[in-house]
Amino acid sequence: MLNDAAVVILAAGQGTRMKSRMPKVLHRAGGKSLVRHSIDTALEIAPRERVFVVVGYQADKVRVETDAAGVGSIQQTEQLGTGHAVMCGKDQLAALGGRLIVSVGDCPLIRASTLEALAETVRTSGAAAAMITTEVENPTGYGRIIRDAAGNVQEIVEHKVCTAEQLLVREINSGIFCFDAGLFWKHTGEIRPDNAAREYYLTDMVSILIRAGHRVAAVKLGDPSELLGINNRVELAAADRIIRDRKIHQLLIDGVTIVKPETVTIDSQVRIGIDTVIGPFAQILGGSVIGENVRIGACSIVDSSVLGDDVEVFPFSMIAASTLEAKAHAGPFARIRMGAHLAESAQIGNFVEVKKSRIGAGAKSMHLAYLGDSTIGDKVNIGAGTITCNYDGQKKHPTIIGDGAFVGSNSTLVAPVEIEAGAYVAAGSVITHKVPADALAVGRSRQVNKEGWRKRPRIATTSE
């Protein structure tokens, strides 16, 4: 953590080549928006109150992300260039002093350690600025790093205005800088929009600082993969793959078994405990937190949910925004959603849907049921085909079932309704009134047997 560093992330552009109605930086890779990747990396090296994002195109939407991350935003109403973008933050940034890191919102693979090395270069080398550079096979479109005979950085020249000789330079500017903040704000007014695009180029700061007698350093990366910038959906897909591969690699190193990892999708924020086994084609998404020794079966999807230790999710289940306490079982083919909560050792079986309900410890609903807006006690047994009728067409109503109750198969529980502890509901009942504790409720018409009915004289039908 660098306490004197501030990070400003440029994210005001539209990103035309995404061909999207949404700003480029809100597209997601590894389950997280591009700008959120940049913010989270910045937060690894700088204090939260010193991290800012420059917003412009659809600023309100991008600000949802900065607000969620608890970092500041800077408004750039007109996109007049990368230099102009930083200058828009003068009020918030100039007073901070120290080192100013300028990063971008569309470069999600950059590592915090690289930004830290960049900032440390400025501190230890006495340079006024440094930028991350690398050599690429095809430098088309990038600003070139121009060095003198001694190898010192002289200037950055944008591709569009390179001479034939400069076009041959393969060392490119990543767009990520660190400046001595005092010197940056002293000289930034010298940037002129004297180029074909009439833009204020941040890259001009290099020659401006050198002209003022300072030195500019470069941190040259041997492996350019960290610098993959996202301009279109091909690059977005490539970044997504790399982020997910990094995540899976880290989980494997950390003691999680992943079967056929190339088929598994895990978002970057997910946490998983040791000895958990993830089956093929599983997806674990959002901020899910998975305990130790959990089984997540093939093709199951766990989204924004918390699974305690020793939980077992059998294949083809969907669990969203829910909590499964230790040793709970779900599936195969279970659907558990909207704040559902399974207490310890609860069991939800095949073709059971649980919505906004609490299922008590050791309670079971093993087959073909719908449990919505219900509170189900410990050790309750819900028979196959049981339905909570929670919706009357206008409002949702609760169902309450006390500890140890037994609900026979194919019961229809018309909410609001309560079945008290230890009560027993006969199979096929329609329950519309409270069932007292330990009572038997039979809510169905009696069976009638008509003796000899098949042998009665048949009445001829007209078609004969």
- Which parts of this chain interact with ligand UD1 (CB under 6 A)? 10-13, 54, 56, 76, 79-82, 84-85, 104-106, 142-143, 156, 158, 172-175, 201-203, 229
Instruction: Find the distance separating the first CA and the last CA of the chain, reported in whole Å.
Output: 94
Nearer to ligand UD1, 31 or 139 (CB): 139
Say if CB 142 and CB 161 are below 8 A apart: no
Say if CB 427 and CB 383 are below 8 A apart: yes
Nearer to ligand UD1, 231 or 410 (CB): 231
Write down the least CB distance from residue 141 to ligand UD1, Å.
7
Write down the least CB distance from residue 78 to ligand UD1, Å.
8
Q: Which of 256, 242, 101, 283 is nearest to 180 (CA)?
A: 101
Say if CB 427 and CB 408 are below 8 A apart: yes
Nearer to ligand UD1, 11 or 181 (CB): 11
Torsion of CA 165, 167, 168, 173, to 10 degrees: 120
Catalytic residue flag (residue 367) = yes
SS (HEC) of 200-255 = CCCCHHHHHHHHCCCCEEEEEECCHHHHCCCCCHHHHHHHHHHHHHHHHHHHHHCC
Write down the least CB distance from residue 237 to ligand UD1, Å.
18
Nearer to ligand UD1, 202 or 251 (CB): 202
> The tokens of 439 are what?
């009572």
Q: Which of 355, 358, 417, 410 is nearest to 384 (CA)?
A: 410
Write down the least CB distance from residue 146 to ligand UD1, Å.
11
Burial 201-224 (b: 16+ CB within 10 A, else e): bbbbbbbbbbeeebebbbbebeeb
Write down the least CB distance from residue 71 to ligand UD1, Å.
15
Nearer to ligand UD1, 52 or 370 (CB): 52
Contacts of 421 (CB under 8 A, 6+ apart): 377, 402, 403, 404, 405, 437, 438
CA distance 148 to 170: 15
Nearer to ligand UD1, 174 or 300 (CB): 174
> The tokens of 42 are what?
């910045």
Write down the least CB distance from residue 131 to ligand UD1, Å.
9
Nearer to ligand UD1, 79 or 269 (CB): 79
CA distance 136 to 424: 73
Cross-strand bridge partners of residue 418 = 400
Cross-strand bridge partners of residue 144 = 157, 172
The torsion angles phi and psi of 55, rounded to 5 degrees, stand at -115, 150
Residue of minimal Cβ distance to ligand UD1: 143
Write down the least CB distance from residue 360 to ligand UD1, Å.
51
Given 37, 187, 249, 367, the catalytic residue? 367
Say if CB 33 and CB 9 are below 8 A apart: no
What is the number of H-type helices and E-type strands within the chain?
9, 39
Write down the least CB distance from residue 208 to ligand UD1, Å.
13
Nearer to ligand UD1, 200 or 333 (CB): 200
Catalytic positions, please?
367
